[in-house]
Structure 1
Amino acid sequence: MTATTASALTLSATTPGKTRNRVLWTLQIVFGLFFIIASGLPKLVGQHDAVEAFRTIGWGDWFRYFTGVVEVSGGIGLLVPRLTGPAAAGLSITTVLAALTQIFLLDAPALAPFPLILAVMFAWIAYERRASFATFTNLLEH
């Protein structure tokens, strides 16, 4: 078996089937647009609710902007085939941190389940798109 054949077998073993691929792309598009339009951009443009939430946290506007950039970048990453796995993994971490923020800093534990459900969904997407981690690593090396 040649190296090319071995890498093709590895790639096919980590690539989801046709139906699962369609489900993943549907979720990635919906979540990507959500994180770009409904979650990240309001933080970047200073929507009143976002400003108030971050004032309550007490970490300043820099943290609101940082969070907005992370969310918009993750949303865009979900839409770029080479970045889907790393973007989903990053958003999974981000949403776990959002749930912890709801629980410990905003004293709103009832709001924590939504980001935790998102974290599970992003972890699943990252797992299914694990082949893109190799592609992403190759992009960084060149």
Structure 2
Amino acid sequence: MTTAAAPAAHPRALAVATWVGRGLLALVFLGAGASKLAGDPAMVWMFGEIGSGQWLRYVVGGLEVAGAVGVLVPRLSALAATGLALLMVGATVTNLTVLDTPPWSTLALLVVAALVAWAGWRRLLSPAPARERALPSDT
């Protein structure tokens, strides 16, 4: 016996929440990525503290800007949000182990990115709605 998946209780609410999350991610990561790419002194100092070299600042900044743009493109939003969530995993670990700073902001962004990714993959991987076959007209 097979059962059909129940439709979302409030698909419009999920869509609105997803767009709000995507907008938030785009704003935050566009700003953060741009500051890294522009060489903001705080970012230069932070990546110096990490000890990996400034090349990582450019890589992370580029990925953040790409993710910010990607979450706004419906076909790319799930992949972009997944990438941003993975960046936030790395940022959280770095905050805890290297920088010895509280991880609350990175964890909050991780949660938002994970929820946006989940909603996007759910939408992309769900079967296409069954379309009714058009009946030939009688005229």
Q: TM tier, shorter chain?
A: 0.7 to 0.9
The within-5 A match list for 1:27-46 is 27-37=21-31, 39-46=32-39
Contact 2:25 2:113 in 1 (8 A): no
Identity of aligned residues (%): 32
CA shift at 1:58, angstroms? 1.1
Structure with the higher helix share, 1 or 2: 1
- Structure 1 segments, 4+ long, off by >4 Å, are none
SS in 1 for 2:71: helix
Give a deviation string over 1:86-106, Cα, whole Å, max 9, x none: 111111111011011011111
Residue 93 (str. 1) matches residue 60 (str. 2):
no
One-letter identity of the residue aligned with 2:25: F
Contact 2:50 2:99 in 1 (8 A): yes
SS in 2 for 1:129: helix
Gaps of 5+ in 1: 1-8, 135-142
Gaps of 5+ in 2: 127-139
The within-5 A match list for 1:100-115 is 100-108=93-101, 110=102, 112-115=103-106
The within-5 A match list for 1:41-52 is 41-52=34-45
Partner in structure 2 of residue 4 of structure 1: none
Higher mean C-alpha displacement, 121-130 vs 66-75? 121-130
